[in-house]
């Protein structure tokens, strides 16, 4: 694992964007595994800027998103499809057909999930998987539990995840209770993983993921078994790493 601790959210975002841009420059037809939420928002802004400056093109890039809320239409302003369109896809030259986000309205989740995995498999897995992390250690929406779920699946969101995501909805009751999430198999199949976090409330999840016991009770801890992980955090999210003796790149 290479770990970068950046001064603040903006520096973290810039570093994340650099890792993603390097992947695209190195392999213009790469497959990006994308995430939503507050963590990657700033990085997407940098990527859009660099695209507008002519430094980067997404025209041959394929993307596969980690997750989507069950029951939200792509046009719902809190759906993850909507997030991706408004934060990245609408502003760069990615081909719409080359972007995938799980279908939160599918009538047949079981078949949908199997087909999502088959698609990822057919691509040879993703080249770079972006991950935020929940305060409870979730990656994608793989919530803490007694076992790791390998396949794309429907998840009951943890109460703490519903609490955390209530900030985006009018009331807590409006937060969907389920999501479709890529499983640990597709995440661990990625050739490279970029794990990012910002803010003090993520410090425990980051510490446990990087050097805690590998356990499904902290899903991010499985990343210790991945051979190619880059971690980018701000000082607040990385605040417990130095005293734990973790070596930092920058
Ligand atoms: C989002 C996702 C989630 C988030 C996590 C952190 O696609 O898969 O795992 O990355 O909940 O969310 P933020 O970044 O909003 O703190």
Nearest ligand 1 atom to the CA of 132 is 10
Distance (angstroms) between ligand 1 centre and the Cα of 66 equals: 10
CB-count burial class (<10 Å; 0-12, 13-18, 19+) for 68: buried
The pLDDT of residue 209 is 98
Distance (angstroms) between ligand 1 centre and the Cα of 50 equals: 24
For helices 9-26 and 38-52, give the axis angle rounded to 10 degrees.
Answer: 60
Ligand 1 contacts CB of residue 219 (under 6 A) = no
Of 235, 228, 4, 5, the closest CA to residue 126 belongs to: 228
Contact (CB, 8 A) for 209 and 237: no
CB-count burial class (<10 Å; 0-12, 13-18, 19+) for 169: middle
For helices 80-87 and 38-52, give the axis angle rounded to 10 degrees.
Answer: 30
The mean per-residue pLDDT over the stretch 103-129 comes to: 98
Ligand 1 contacts CB of residue 237 (under 6 A) = no
Ligand 1 contacts CB of residue 145 (under 6 A) = no
Ligand 1 contacts CB of residue 134 (under 6 A) = yes
Instruction: Report pTM.
Output: 0.97
Per-residue model confidence as pLDDT tens digits over 68-109: 999 999 999 999 999 999 999 999 999 999 999 999 999 999
Ligand 1 contacts CB of residue 163 (under 6 A) = no
The pLDDT of residue 161 is 95
Mean pLDDT of the chain: 97
Pocket mutation for ligand 1, best pick of 36, 144, 206 (most atoms within 8 Å of C-beta):
36
Per-residue model confidence as pLDDT tens digits over 213-238: 999 999 999 999 999 999 999 999 99
Is pLDDT at 131 greater than 70 in this prediction?
Answer: yes
The pLDDT of residue 129 is 98
DSSP H helical segments within 123-202, as ranges?
159-165, 184-189
Contact (CB, 8 A) for 7 and 235: yes
Distance (angstroms) between ligand 1 centre and the Cα of 31 equals: 20
Q: Which helix (H) or strand (E) holds 42?
A: helix 38-52
Ligand 1 contacts CB of residue 36 (under 6 A) = yes
Per-residue model confidence as pLDDT tens digits over 183-195: 999 999 999 999 9
Q: pLDDT-based confidence at 249, cuts 50/70/90? A: confident
Per-residue model confidence as pLDDT tens digits over 37-75: 999 999 999 999 999 999 999 999 999 999 999 999 999
Is pLDDT at 250 greater than 90 in this prediction?
Answer: no
Distance (angstroms) between ligand 1 centre and the Cα of 145 equals: 18
Active site (catalytic) residues: 67, 136, 138, 143
Percent pLDDT > 70 in the chain is 100
Of 86, 60, 62, the closest CA to residue 74 belongs to: 86
Per-residue model confidence as pLDDT tens digits over 163-188: 999 999 999 999 999 999 999 999 99
């Amino acid at each position: 694992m290479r770990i970068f601790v950046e001064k603040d959210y903006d520096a973290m975002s810039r570093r994340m964007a650099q890792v993603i841009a390097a992947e695209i420059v190195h392999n213009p037809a790469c497959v990006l595994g994308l995430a939503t939420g507050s963590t990657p928002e700033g990085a997407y802004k940098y990527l859009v800027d660099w695209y507008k400056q002519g430094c980067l093109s997404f025209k041959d890039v394929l993307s596969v998103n980690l997750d989507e809320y069950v029951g939200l239409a792509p046009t719902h302003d809190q759906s993850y499809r909507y997030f991706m369109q408004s934060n990245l896809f609408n502003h760069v030259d990615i081909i719409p057909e080359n972007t995938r986000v799980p279908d939160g309205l599918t009538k047949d989740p079981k078949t949908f999930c199997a087909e999502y995995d088959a698609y990822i498999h057919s691509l040879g897995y993703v080249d770079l998987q972006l991950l935020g992390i929940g305060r409870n250690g979730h990656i994608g929406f793989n919530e803490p539990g007694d076992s790791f779920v390998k396949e794309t699946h429907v998840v009951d969101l943890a109460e703490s995840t519903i609490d955390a995501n209530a900030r985006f909805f009018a009331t807590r009751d409006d937060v969907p209770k389920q999501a479709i999430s890529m499983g640990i198999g597709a995440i661990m199949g990625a050739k490279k993983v970029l794990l990012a976090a910002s803010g003090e409330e993520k410090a425990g999840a980051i510490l446990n993921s990087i050097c805690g016991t590998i356990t499904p009770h902290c899903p991010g801890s499985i990343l210790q078994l991945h051979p190619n992980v880059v971690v980018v955090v701000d000082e607040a999210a990385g605040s417990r790493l130095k005293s734990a003796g973790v070596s930092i790149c920058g």
